[in-house]
Amino acid sequence: MLDKKILFMLNSQINKEFYSSYLYLDISNYYYDNSLDGFGNWFAIQAQEEYAHAMLFLKYLKNNGDKVKLDAINAPDNKFTNFKQPLTDVLEHEIFISRSINDIYAFAYEIKDFKTMQFLDWFVKEQGEEEQKAEGLCKRFDLFGSDPRGLYLLDTELSSRVYAAPSLVI
């Protein structure tokens, strides 16, 4: 059984990961609605990834004999005014998620919960990659997004992304 505060933090993280999935699905729909199907595909895949992250946290709790507490997931309240705004919002969101995971890790370190720290190692690395991907999309949009041909080529490139399930063993 896990420390009560760690359990609370991990349960909270499950909800944050499910919200991330919901957020990215909403962004995917925004791009699909605006005929940017490559961007829509990219974010649909991202929604699957975030769902898988939530399930990994959930499985970790179950494997430790702890109870999972699912909270309500708020609907994203996005009112996008341009095609770049979702990209910058995603970068901010990924930084928020990284901070949340780092907070859990810091507390696990403080109480010497080495098993939880080891579990979180993969997520710390993954969040670095998530932030890098989000920042890269913002930069590429800045380079190519204002030119219709550049936007078309970027959209076409993003349409080739496929889902690959995480390979974390719990």
Share of the chain above pLDDT 70, in %: 98
Domain residue spans of the chain: 4-66+82-158
Instruction: State the pLDDT confidence band at 156, using cuts at 50, 70 and 90.
Output: very high
In sequence order, what are the residues at sequence separation of 6 or more whose Cβ sits closer than 8 angstroms to the Cβ of residue 64? 1, 2, 115
CATH number of the domain located at residue range(s) 4-66+82-158 in this protein: 1.20.1260.10
* Residue 24 near residue 46 (C-beta atoms within 8 A): yes
* Residue 11 near residue 60 (C-beta atoms within 8 A): no
**How many residues can be counted in the chain?**
170
* Residue 78 near residue 30 (C-beta atoms within 8 A): yes
**Residue 9: pLDDT above 90?**
yes
Rounded Cα gap, residues 145 and 72, in angstroms: 36
- C-alpha atoms less than 13 angstroms from C-alpha of 132 in its C-beta half-sphere: 6
Over residues 75-97, mean pLDDT: 96
Summarised one tens digit per residue, pLDDT across range 96-114 is 999 999 999 999 999 999 9
Over residues 60-88, mean pLDDT: 95
Count of Cβ atoms closer than 10 Å to residue 87 Cβ: 22
Look-up of token digits 């199907």 = 37
**Residue 167: pLDDT above 80?**
no
**Residue 79: pLDDT above 80?**
yes
* Residue 58 near residue 16 (C-beta atoms within 8 A): no
